[in-house]
Copies of this chain bind each other. A is one copy, B any other.
C-alpha cells in the first residue's frame, strides 16, 4: 500500500510504500533532511514535525495515527515540549498513512546562514566537504574484502548521492586499518565533493571545519568556519610576513626574481604565516588543525603565484600573462599547509593581470554581474581593484595604491587592531579633534582603558577628510599655516604636522600626528583609485555611476563621507555609497561554505573584462589632476555641498 506524503516548506510530495521511514521518504522525494549519522538513529538531528496525520482527523475518535509509535530512542532525544508538538525523528518514524510533514530550518542540511561581517550576507551552507557516518561490515575469514572496499561499499550503500567512483586519499589509507578497528567498524568519513574520502575518524563525528584566508599584500585575514552550521567561529589577522621582502607587489616580484631562491623564500614565508593563523584560530576554537578539512584562498594575481610558488615575473610585465587563471584545487600537503593531511586548498580563479581571486571574491559577494544598475566597486588595498558595470558588461582594473590606505607608510599608521584610531572628527572652529579607538565603545575620554597607539586606514581617511574640510590643508594638500591652533605645528625637520592625540592620551609615550608626508601618501593612493574608476567608466561609455561600494581588507569600516570628500571615487550622491568591509574575505568565506559559488566565481572571472588602465593615453594627465582634493560645484557637486556646510572655511567659491 502506498501513502501520500507532503513535505513542507518545500512542498515536495509523492507516494511511498507504507512502512517506509520518513527519512527514506525524504530521500526518495529529494527533501533535504540533516542526518549526520546516516539514519543509524544515533544523532537525533533529523527532527521533523508531523503537521497532519499524526492522529487521523477523519477518525479522530479512534485515534488512529498515520505514523508509527514514538520509540524509546526518540523519547531520549526529543524534549517533552517537542514531543507534545508532534516532533519526531525522521529515521525512527514509519509512515502508515497519508501525512503532511514540516521540516524545520535546523533539520535542513542545506541551511541558510547570515554572514555577519561588513554587510550581513545570506548564503547557503552547501560546502564541498561533508561528514558521513557509516557502520561497516567487519572483516571475517569468510569475507576477504579489504578495509577500503568495505568503507566504500558502506558509504555508497548508505548515501546513494555519492559519486560511484569514490576514492580514498592516500593519506587516509595510512591509518585506515587502525581507525576502522578503533571505531569498531563505525566511522565518520569526511568527503570532498562527494567523491574523495579526505579524512576518517572512529565513531560519529558531526563537525568539520574550514578556513577562508584573504592574503592581502599588507594584511592576511583568516576566518575559521564550522562547515556544518556555516557559522564563523573565529577570525584573526596578521601583517603579511612577506612585507620584509618588499612593501608592494612589484618589489616582491623583483625580490623573487633577483634573489637566489627568492621565490621559494617568499612562498615559504606566506605559507608559514597561513599556518600560524590556522594554529591560532584552531586553538581559539578548541579544535585541532587536523580537523580543518578545507581552505579557500584569495589574493591578487602576483600574490597568488607567489603563494603557490609559481614564478610571478611574467604577470608583472607585458603582456601580463598569468601561469594559470582557472580555479585550482591543490592538496594541502603539496603546498605545505598544515590542515588535515588529505585536506584541499581551493584557490578562486584569476581574472587577468593583477586582478586576481580577491576581486573574484568581491564579485561573488557583491554580485554586480546579476544587477541592472551600474555599480562601481572599489576594493582598497595595497593593490587596489576596481570593477565597474552591470549584468550586461563588467570591467575591472587594478591600481598600485600603495599601503598607505591600510595604515602603512603613514608615520603613525597601524593596522586595525585594539588601540588604532578608527574614527576622527574635527571641530571646524577650534580645530580640536574627537577620535575613537578600536576596543573602546565611545569617543575618546581621558578615563578610557585602551589608549591610542596609532591610526588605522579608516582613521586616516577620516582625518585627511576632516583636515581638508576644516582648511588645515588646502586643495593641493598643503598645510595652511595661517590657521592658529596649538595642534598645527612644525616638527623637528620644520615640516608641518597636525597633532591628533597628545602623548598623555596615548600608549606610546609620544604625540600621534598627521604629517605633510602622510597627506601626500594618501593623495597618491586616492588618485590611483580615482583615475582607475574614471577610466573604467569612460571605457564602459558613461560618466554616471548608480552606486559605489567601498570594500577594504583593513578590518574597520571606511566612513563613506570621508572617502567622498578626499576623492577616493567619482563624485556622487552619498545615499548611493555603501562601505561593506572586507568583501574579498566575505567572498572567500562564501566560496568555502557554498561550493556552487565556486562555479559562479569561474563564470564571473570569464565574464569580467580586464582593462590595463596604466597604458591608457590620458592616464598620466588624469592622475595628476586626481591628486587634488575635490572641490567646485560643477565637477564635484556632492563634495562641494558638504564643504559648503562648514561655516568657517571655504575652499572654493
Seen from chain A, the residues whose Cβ lies within 8 Å of a Cβ on chain B are 139-141, 143-149, 168, 170-171, 173-178, 181, 308-311, 313-314, 318-326, 328, 330-331, 333-334, 350, 352, 610, 612
Contact = CB atoms under 8 A, between A and B. Distances in A.
B139 A350 contact: no
Contact of A323 (B147, B171, B352): B147
Contacts of A168: 324
Given A178-B311, A333-B334, A350-B146, A173 B323 contact: yes
Given A147-B324, A168-B324, 15 more contacts: A139-B314, A145-B321, A145-B325, A146-B325, A147-B322, A148-B326, A149-B324, A170-B330, A171-B334, A173-B308, A173-B328, A175-B311, A176-B323, A176-B324, A177-B311
Residue from A143, A170, A314, A321 with most neighbouring chain B CB atoms (10 Å): A321
Contacts of A322: 146-147
Given A146-B350, A321-B147, A352-B144, A310 B181 contact: no
Contacts of A325: 145-146, 148-149
B319 A141 contact: yes
A320 B308 CA distance: 43
Nearest to A341: B334
Contacts of A141: 318-320, 612
30 contacts: A139-B314, A140-B319, A141-B319, A141-B320, A141-B612, A143-B319, A144-B321, A144-B352, A144-B610, A145-B321, A146-B324, A146-B325, A146-B350, A147-B322, A147-B323, A148-B323, A148-B324, A148-B325, A149-B324, A149-B325, A170-B308, A170-B330, A171-B334, A173-B323, A173-B324, A175-B311, A176-B324, A177-B310, A177-B311, A177-B323
A454 to B, nearest CB: 39
Contact of A174 (B144, B149, B181, B309): B309
Contacts of A331: 170
Residue from A145, A313, A324, A350 with most neighbouring chain B CB atoms (10 Å): A324
Contact of A181 (B175, B181, B314, B610): B314
A605 to B, nearest CB: 11
Number of identical protomers: 2
A309 B174 CA distance: 6
Nearest to A139: B321
Q: Which 10 A-B pairs have the closest CB atoms?
A: A139-B321, A146-B325, A148-B324, A141-B319, A146-B322, A177-B323, A147-B323, A177-B314, A139-B319, A144-B352
A534 B133 CA distance: 46
A308 B174 CA distance: 8
A643 to B, nearest CB: 42
A323 B200 CA distance: 14
A174 B336 CA distance: 14
A175 B305 CA distance: 11
Given A173-B308, A311-B175, A330-B170, A323 B144 contact: no
A175 B146 CA distance: 39
B311 A170 contact: no
B176 A310 contact: yes
Given A147-B324, A148-B323, A173 B310 contact: yes
Given A141-B318, A319-B139, A319-B141, A310 B174 contact: yes
Contacts of A352: 144
A561 to B, nearest CB: 37
Nearest to A309: B174
Contacts of A174: 308-311
A262 to B, nearest CB: 14
A198 to B, nearest CB: 13
B321 A146 contact: yes
A144 B173 CA distance: 42
Contacts of A173: 308, 310, 323-324, 328
Contacts of A139: 314, 319, 321
A350 B146 CA distance: 9
Contacts of A181: 314
A385 to B, nearest CB: 16
Given A174-B309, A177-B314, A323 B140 contact: no
Contacts of A310: 173-174, 176-177
A405 to B, nearest CB: 28
A179 to B, nearest CB: 10
A307 to B, nearest CB: 12
Contacts of A148: 323-326
A118 B77 CA distance: 68
Residue from A144, A310, A326 with most neighbouring chain B CB atoms (10 Å): A144
Nearest to A152: B326
A174 to B, nearest CB: 5
A155 to B, nearest CB: 15
A320 B141 CA distance: 8
Nearest to A181: B314
Contacts of A330: 170
Given A174-B309, A333-B334, A334-B170, A146 B610 contact: no
Contacts of A178: 311
Contacts of A323: 146-148, 173, 176-177
A283 to B, nearest CB: 26
Contacts of A176: 310, 323-324
A324 B170 CA distance: 11
